[in-house]
A and B are shown apart, each in its own frame.
Chain A
């Protein structure tokens, strides 16, 4: 198969076109502007509609409209722009519409900075906006995985009629790697729930207003419980017999994978659990690890521990959970091995 050499952002945009996304409305912000740049040129050529909205708020509400009409729709942002999307995502979740969102994480709160980070973990995994909902959040660790997960996100969004999120970061988004794309797919916007204009069909309504249908609470509970049961994804690397299991996603997981092989070569039993979905969190990955397990160590590009909390919840805190926070600098694998060794020597 032919490999292209592409930036994470460009590859993400191309993958969305291949997944038959027909509408994108968004607003530029570093480090994800190349998504808009690419789509502004290539989405119209593929027969779709690209709109640079006047703000993120407008963009997300355009996505709401396109999704209501049954179209595969997406918007992308970063940091402060991603905060602005949250109200709209809550509405779309409440209206039970499929849509894909992208957050290319940058560092810090407020305006923050444009460097790579994993500081948006809470907003990505807890729903982000108001009310009772969650988004299925995928965290790619390479340009190829970004492409693979974008296609999956569109499918899962439709399967569950729920927003899905690609949680990228400035490293994965800005770096270039070889990548292979799937063939372009065809999708029919004529879903039974979609509002398709005056065609003499059944009356349909898309709304985010709560009408409290019978068993509404139970319905919402069951919907998310089903996703939680069926959609956990992870990669486990030599975790079974490890004394220290690293837990990391995205760019930090790549460095952790290198740390595992460095440590193993020195006889240190290090392993890695890499969540691919950060919601639903891959709790199953933590079942049945070896008796020699002494601690977990999360490796996160942030100033405050985030992922750490989910590991504590998933493991019931039966084993100590430590964290290593690298701020906005991708640590070396030697640094991570040192952290793990220090824990073993405690």
Chain B
């Protein structure tokens, strides 16, 4: 079972990143739960969602210890790293996060997600770049097959762009290169 928190400013697409991760995992035959944070974070404040992904029944959708934190902004790193397990992984959007100090033993992966997606002309794809890093870091799925899953997800919604796949693969490469 993998427990993931996805957090950032409202508007950065953290709930969508969680949804994409959930949907592609489900399409890959996994059990998934997705719980949104609750409150008035439509714009501006910190939004987050929690996912659990497992090949067997998931009973508790909540958890105290995440295996992975996908942190899109500074506040997520500061306030949520205490929820990450001792040997957990934190994926940091290094374009938006200046102070990247984490506890000893924690694995931190820097991804300039906002910068690389902007350079690609897909500024709203930063969340997808973060997912690329997440999949590469956790080896939850093979990177290429998850990229196919992302295409299917957005195709089904009738709003895919090849830039999503490109952002995803760039994010994944950021991990391979570390």
- Asked if residues B33 and A255 are in contact (CB atoms below 8 Å), the reply is no
- Segment with Cβ contacts to B, from A117-125, A175-183, A198-206: A175-183
**B23 to chain A: closest residue by CB:** A5
What's the least CB distance linking B104 to chain A, in Å? 25
Bits for B130-144, please: 1 = Cβ < 8 Å to A, else 0: 000000000000000
- Asked if residues B59 and A255 are in contact (CB atoms below 8 Å), the reply is yes
- Asked if residues B38 and A114 are in contact (CB atoms below 8 Å), the reply is yes
**A256 to chain B: closest residue by CB:** B59
For residues 197 through 237 of chain A, which have their beta carbon under 8 Å from a beta carbon of chain B? none
Decide yes or no: A176 and B59 within 8 Å by CB, A3-B26, A5-B26 being known contacts. Answer: no
List of A residues within 8 angstroms of B33 by Cβ:
175-177
Decide yes or no: A177 and B59 within 8 Å by CB, A3-B26, A5-B23, A5-B26 being known contacts. Answer: no
B61 adjacent to chain A (CB < 8 Å): yes
- Asked if residues A177 and B60 are in contact (CB atoms below 8 Å), the reply is no
- Asked if residues A171 and B59 are in contact (CB atoms below 8 Å), the reply is no
For residues 122 through 172 of chain B, which have their beta carbon under 8 Å from a beta carbon of chain A? none
- Asked if residues A332 and B60 are in contact (CB atoms below 8 Å), the reply is yes
Docked complex Cα distance between A95 and B13 (Å): 50
Decide yes or no: A175 and B60 within 8 Å by CB, A5-B23, A5-B26 being known contacts. Answer: no
Decide yes or no: A174 and B26 within 8 Å by CB, A5-B32, A258-B60 being known contacts. Answer: no
Docked complex Cα distance between A170 and B61 (Å): 13
Other than the known A175-B35, A333-B60, what 12 A-B pairs have Cβ atoms closer than 8 Å? A5-B19, A5-B22, A5-B23, A114-B38, A175-B34, A175-B61, A176-B32, A178-B31, A255-B59, A255-B60, A258-B59, A332-B64
- Asked if residues B61 and A178 are in contact (CB atoms below 8 Å), the reply is no
Docked complex Cα distance between A177 and B61 (Å): 10
Q: How large is the interface on A (under 10, 10 to 19, 20 to 34, 35 or more residues)?
A: 10 to 19
- Asked if residues A178 and B26 are in contact (CB atoms below 8 Å), the reply is yes
For residues 4 through 27 of chain B, which have their beta carbon under 8 Å from a beta carbon of chain A? 19, 22-23, 26
List of B residues within 8 angstroms of A115 by Cβ:
38
What's the least CB distance linking B44 to chain A, in Å? 19
List of B residues within 8 angstroms of A126 by Cβ:
none
Bits for A254-269, please: 1 = Cβ < 8 Å to B, else 0: 1101100000000000
What's the least CB distance linking A4 to chain B, in Å? 9
- Asked if residues A171 and B32 are in contact (CB atoms below 8 Å), the reply is no
A330 adjacent to chain B (CB < 8 Å): yes
**Chain A interface mostly:** mixed
Q: How large is the interface on B (under 10, 10 to 19, 20 to 34, 35 or more residues)?
A: 10 to 19
List of A residues within 8 angstroms of B32 by Cβ:
5, 176-178
Decide yes or no: A254 and B31 within 8 Å by CB, A3-B26, A5-B22 being known contacts. Answer: no
13 intermolecular pairs with C-beta atoms under 8 Å apart: A3-B26, A5-B26, A114-B38, A170-B38, A171-B61, A174-B35, A176-B32, A177-B34, A178-B32, A257-B59, A330-B60, A330-B62, A332-B60
Decide yes or no: A254 and B35 within 8 Å by CB, A5-B22, A178-B26 being known contacts. Answer: no
- Asked if residues B64 and A171 are in contact (CB atoms below 8 Å), the reply is no
Most chain A CB inside 10 Å of its own CB: which residue of B35, B38, B60:
B60
List of A residues within 8 angstroms of B19 by Cβ:
5, 176
Docked complex Cα distance between A244 and B133 (Å): 45
**A178 to chain B: closest residue by CB:** B26
List of A residues within 8 angstroms of B36 by Cβ:
174
Docked complex Cα distance between A115 and B33 (Å): 18
- Asked if residues A174 and B38 are in contact (CB atoms below 8 Å), the reply is yes
For the complex of A and B, the 6 pairs showing the least CB-CB separation, nearest first, are A176-B34, A258-B59, A254-B59, A175-B35, A178-B26, A330-B62
Docked complex Cα distance between A175 and B64 (Å): 17
Docked complex Cα distance between A171 and B60 (Å): 11
For residues 43 through 68 of chain B, which have their beta carbon under 8 Å from a beta carbon of chain A? 59-62, 64
**A174 to chain B: closest residue by CB:** B36
List of B residues within 8 angstroms of A177 by Cβ:
32-34, 61
Docked complex Cα distance between A174 and B23 (Å): 16
Bits for A154-175, please: 1 = Cβ < 8 Å to B, else 0: 0000000000000000110011
Docked complex Cα distance between A22 and B43 (Å): 36
**B24 to chain A: closest residue by CB:** A5
Docked complex Cα distance between A115 and B62 (Å): 14
List of A residues within 8 angstroms of B59 by Cβ:
254-255, 257-258, 333
List of B residues within 8 angstroms of A176 by Cβ:
19, 22, 32-35
List of B residues within 8 angstroms of A3 by Cβ:
26
**A257 to chain B: closest residue by CB:** B59
List of B residues within 8 angstroms of A257 by Cβ:
59
**B50 to chain A: closest residue by CB:** A175
Bits for A13-32, please: 1 = Cβ < 8 Å to B, else 0: 00000000000000000000
List of A residues within 8 angstroms of B35 by Cβ:
171, 174-176
